[in-house]
């Protein structure tokens, strides 16, 4: 930088130059301070533990190092090889004989090993076993011929189709139920489903025909779904969860609402609270069980948060280095959950005493000074949510975790990962209705396939025609 000759600048010009230099120095000092804080934050991030499925809400599929060959039995992302524990031995078992065999074949010996003829001797059963096989499954084709003619009145007439075999699609209710069951319950795509039907059963069916069959089931499934909504809006306890899904490549959300009697699935473009409010139709149950997502708060008179999610946050604080608050809280929550599992063996008065003890111990933990930042952050979260931790110790209908809803939504997560999502809006609607109807049927003790077959039969109601 060339120096300016002093005699070329007046005093006012020098003052202006000094003012500019002062402003520049202030800006540079602010930038230096910001960068220093950023460096400190990045250094702090480097010291934090990695988030995994054990200490956060990340799914196991997103664990660092998963699938990179860290060794048999190694924890994802740890890089450490863990010895595999030997499995305890179990007593051997064999399949029981069928109570009502379809056929019994009695075999009598003709010769002894020495060559003597023993066919005329009295023989007793020395060995009995079952041979089980599946006969060839082939389509049963029924040709329908509707005869008719012209009446003396001048009008044409035609015979009524047989029950369950009205004109239209050639595929019957069993095939409709079979296609829906394999696609939605076992995540078989249309192409593989067409191959499977051809190679295993000799049923030639195109992917378009499969799509038409599934779309045809939308109406009967929707009718059952309407009845499920009515029962949902009368429930006293509701478990709720949500997950992502995709329709035509765009992000959507699949919600599930579980009660002791019914299961309701809904797929919408949003994750907003309005989805849950619309599903409940203004009804407020006694207890709502969910995670701590803000959109699910204050949906009922009482809210039980999922303690499994809380324990993951506790584990993250422990991994971060907190040795005061987080370990003690983990033991307390584990004890509370263990008490909840034994509720069926405890009197109500005993359960109340446990609740008081647990609350008192939690008060003591919250009063302890916690030096570690992760522990202080966790402590602040517990103070904000503690009134929603132990509802299950007061109401025996409530569980300590949201595992019921998570298990219910898991098949849809697998469906999304296997198939990649939905290509149409109607496909998402059918899937939500299918999951609602079949899961509700399972709660009632009915098989999913039998339920589907009954609904598919309504598509083939006799329809008398005259012409």
Please give the pLDDT value at position 71.
45
Neighbour count for residue 318 (Cβ, 10 Å) = 21
Q: Which of these, 226, 245, 240, lies nearest to 277 by C-alpha position? A: 240
DSSP state, residue 100: S
Pairwise CA distance, residues 257 & 267, whole Å: 12
User: Residue 214 burial (CB < 10 Å; 0-12/13-18/19+)?
Assistant: buried
Pairwise CA distance, residues 68 & 119, whole Å: 66
Please give the pLDDT value at position 375.
92
- CA distances to 76, 284, 391 from 288, rounded to whole Å, are 34, 9, 10
Query: What is the torsion angle, in degrees rounded to the nearest 10, for the CA atoms of residue 86, residue 89, residue 92 and residue 95?
Result: -50
Please give the pLDDT value at position 77.
46
DSSP state, residue 111: B
For the chain, residues with pLDDT lower than 50 are: 69-79, 464-467
Query: What is the torsion angle, in degrees rounded to the nearest 10, for the CA atoms of residue 275, residue 280, residue 283 and residue 284?
Result: -70
Please give the pLDDT value at position 76.
47
CA 441-264-418 angle, 5° bins: 85
Please give the pLDDT value at position 3.
61
Bridge pairing between strands 237-247 and 156-158? unpaired
Q: Which of these, 355, 439, 345, lies nearest to 392 by C-alpha position? A: 355
3-class state of residue 282 by DSSP: coil
Give DSSP secondary structure letters for 117-150: B-TTS-------------PPP----------EEE
Please give the pLDDT value at position 276.
95
**Residues in Cβ contact with 147 at an 8 Å cutoff, skipping those fewer than 6 apart:** 158, 159
Please give the pLDDT value at position 192.
95
Pairwise CA distance, residues 302 & 391, whole Å: 8
The helix (H) or strand (E) run that includes residue 221 is helix 218-232
97-128 tens-digit pLDDT = 999 999 999 999 999 999 899 988 999 999 99
Q: Which of these, 376, 126, 386, 403, lies nearest to 240 by C-alpha position? A: 403
Contacts by residues 107-112 (CB-CB < 8 Å, ≥ 24 positions apart) = none
pTM of the model: 0.80
User: Please, are residues 224 and 437 in contact by the beta-carbon 8 Å criterion?
Assistant: yes
Please give the pLDDT value at position 2.
60
CA atoms within a 13 Å half-sphere pointing along the CA-CB vector of 316: 21
């Amino acid at each position: 930088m060339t120096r300016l000759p002093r005699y070329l600048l007046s005093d006012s010009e020098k003052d202006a130059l000094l003012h500019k230099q002062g402003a520049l120095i202030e800006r540079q000092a602010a930038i230096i301070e910001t960068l220093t804080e950023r460096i400190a934050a990045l250094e702090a991030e480097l010291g934090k533990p990695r988030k995994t499925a054990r200490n956060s809400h990340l799914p196991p599929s997103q664990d660092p190092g998963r699938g990179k060959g860290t060794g048999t039995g190694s924890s994802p992302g740890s890089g450490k090889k863990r010895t595999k524990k030997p499995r305890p031995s179990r007593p051997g078992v064999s399949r029981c004989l069928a109570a009502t065999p379809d056929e019994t074949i009695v075999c009598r010996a003709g010769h002894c090993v020495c060559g003597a003829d023993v066919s005329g001797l009295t023989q007793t059963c020395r060995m009995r076993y079952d041979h089980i096989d599946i006969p060839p499954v082939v389509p049963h084709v029924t040709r329908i011929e509707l005869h008719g003619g012209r009446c003396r009145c001048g009008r044409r007439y035609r015979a009524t189709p047989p029950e369950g075999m009205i004109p239209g699609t050639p595929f019957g209710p069993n095939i409709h139920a079979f296609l829906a069951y394999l696609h939605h319950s076992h995540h078989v795509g249309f192409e593989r489903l067409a191959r499977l039907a051809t190679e295993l059963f000799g049923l030639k069916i195109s992917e378009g025909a499969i799509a038409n069959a599934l779309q045809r089931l939308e109406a009967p499934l929707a009718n059952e779904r309407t009845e499920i909504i009515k029962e949902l809006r009368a429930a006293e306890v509701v478990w709720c969860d949500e997950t992502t899904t995709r329709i035509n490549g765009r992000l959507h959300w699949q919600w599930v609402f579980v009660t002791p009697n019914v299961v309701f699935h809904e797929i919408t473009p949003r994750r907003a609270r309005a989805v849950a409010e619309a599903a409940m139709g203004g009804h407020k149950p006694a207890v709502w069980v969910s995670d701590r997502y803000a959109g699910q708060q204050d949906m009922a008179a009482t809210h039980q948060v999922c303690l499994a999610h809380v324990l993951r946050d506790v584990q993250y604080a422990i991994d971060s280095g907190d040795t005061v608050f987080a370990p003690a809280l983990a033991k307390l929550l584990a004890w509370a959950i263990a008490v909840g599992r034994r509720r069926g063996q405890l009197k109500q008065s005993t359960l109340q005493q446990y609740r008081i003890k647990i609350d008192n111990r939690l008060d003591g933990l919250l009063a302890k000074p916690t030096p570690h930042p992760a522990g202080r952050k966790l402590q602040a979260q517990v103070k904000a949510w503690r009134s929603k931790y132990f509802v299950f110790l007061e109401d025996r209908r409530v569980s300590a975790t949201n595992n019921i809803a998570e298990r219910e939504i898991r098949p849809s997560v697998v469906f999304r990962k296997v198939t990649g999502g939905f290509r149409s809006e109607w496909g998402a609607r059918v899937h939500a209705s299918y999951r609602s109807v079949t899961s509700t049927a399972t709660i009632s003790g009915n098989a999913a396939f039998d339920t589907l077959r009954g609904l598919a039969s309504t598509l083939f109601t006799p329809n008398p025609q005259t012409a």
